[in-house]
């Protein structure tokens, strides 16, 4: 029996991955992290979506990011950058976040007899976060295998997809409405289409428009 653990946040990407995993593995578990993010609303959304998907849901706390490296997602006094500046990614980058999430996920997975790990990182449509890139994920996969003597496979189904293609994947999986209405991607923690103006909402919205216009073009010859 194939068993997968999904690193799950209740956002568009990881929700799409959750349903992708349900289609591709016999048994799926979701693990969400409480890491001092601005809005617990996303954890509530994650819990509800996992329940709807009938996937066991676990949470783990990693609460030290804001103490050791300032970033706008966990330091609530910082303004969220609108975009990347010339020399650095936007301040919504939480240094090392994916590395730690995947490391804790692997520890959890080993303890539960799971060897497949799924994460929604993407190289194609992000602001240059280094730990979302394929090279890093492949390197960490090898390191985790060596560190725990398990043949983990880290799956990244969204790695080369832009946001419109992520919407298409949700649609193909039959969960377009769940992703559109129940996920939280907004930096202000607003469910569904969000505040409409933060960088995360704009990215999501542009992807949705591109996906919907492509769909319309196919439907009307």
Taking residues 81 to 120 in sequence order and writing x for each that binds Zn ion by CB under 5 A, - otherwise, the string is ----------------------------------------
Least gap, CB of 136 to Zn ion (angstroms): 27
What part of residues 147-186 is at the interface with Zn ion (CB under 5 A)?
186
* Among 17, 158, 179, 201, contact with Zn ion (rule: CB under 5 A): 201
Size of the site for Zn ion (CB under 5 A): 6
Q: Is 207 in the site for Zn ion (CB under 5 A)?
A: no
User: What tokens appear for 157 in the block?
Assistant: 């189904």
Q: Is 73 in the site for Zn ion (CB under 5 A)?
A: no
* Among 11, 36, 120, 194, contact with Zn ion (rule: CB under 5 A): 194
CA atoms in the 13 A half-sphere facing the CB of 154? 28
Q: Which is nearer to Zn ion, 50 or 186 (CB)?
A: 186
Please give the biggest Cα pair distance in the chain: 56
For 83, 130, 200, 208, the CA distances from 86, given in Å and listed in that order, are 10, 15, 19, 27
Task: Give the H/E segment covering residue 153.
Answer: strand 153-155
CB 127 within 8 A of CB 84: yes
Q: Is 198 in the site for Zn ion (CB under 5 A)?
A: yes
How far apart, in whole angstroms, are the C-alpha atoms of residue 87 and residue 115? 38
* DSSP line for 2-40: -EEEEE--SSHHHHHHHHHHHHH-SEEEEEEEESS-S-T
Least gap, CB of 165 to Zn ion (angstroms): 21
Q: At what angle do helices 12-24 and 41-52 cross, to 10 degrees?
A: 20
Least gap, CB of 71 to Zn ion (angstroms): 17
Least gap, CB of 197 to Zn ion (angstroms): 6
Q: Which is nearer to Zn ion, 3 or 39 (CB)?
A: 39
The footprint of Zn ion (CB under 5 A) covers 186, 188, 194-195, 198, 201
């Amino acid at each position: 029996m194939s068993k997968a653990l999904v690193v799950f946040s209740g956002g568009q990407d990881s929700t799409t991955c959750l349903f992708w995993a349900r289609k591709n593995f016999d048994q799926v578990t979701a693990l969400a992290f409480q890491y001092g993010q601005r809005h617990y609303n996303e954890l509530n959304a994650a819990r509800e979506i996992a329940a709807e998907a009938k996937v066991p849901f676990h949470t783990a706390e990693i609460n030290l990011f804001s103490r050791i490296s300032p970033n706008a997602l966990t330091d609530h006094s910082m303004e969220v950058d609108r975009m990347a500046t010339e020399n650095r990614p936007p301040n919504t980058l939480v240094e090392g976040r994916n590395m730690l999430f995947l490391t804790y996920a692997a520890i959890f997975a080993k303890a539960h007899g799971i060897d497949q790990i799924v994460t929604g990182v993407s190289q194609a449509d992000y602001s240059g976060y280094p730990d979302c890139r394929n090279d890093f994920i492949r390197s960490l996969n090898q390191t985790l295998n060596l560190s725990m003597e398990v043949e983990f496979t880290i799956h990244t189904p969204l790695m080369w997809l832009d946001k419109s293609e992520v919407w298409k994947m949700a649609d193909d999986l039959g969960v377009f409405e769940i992703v559109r209405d129940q996920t939280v991607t907004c930096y202000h923690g607003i469910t569904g289409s969000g505040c409409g103006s933060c960088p995360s909402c704009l990215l999501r919205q542009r992807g949705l428009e591109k996906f919907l216009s492509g769909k319309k073009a196919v439907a009307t010859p």
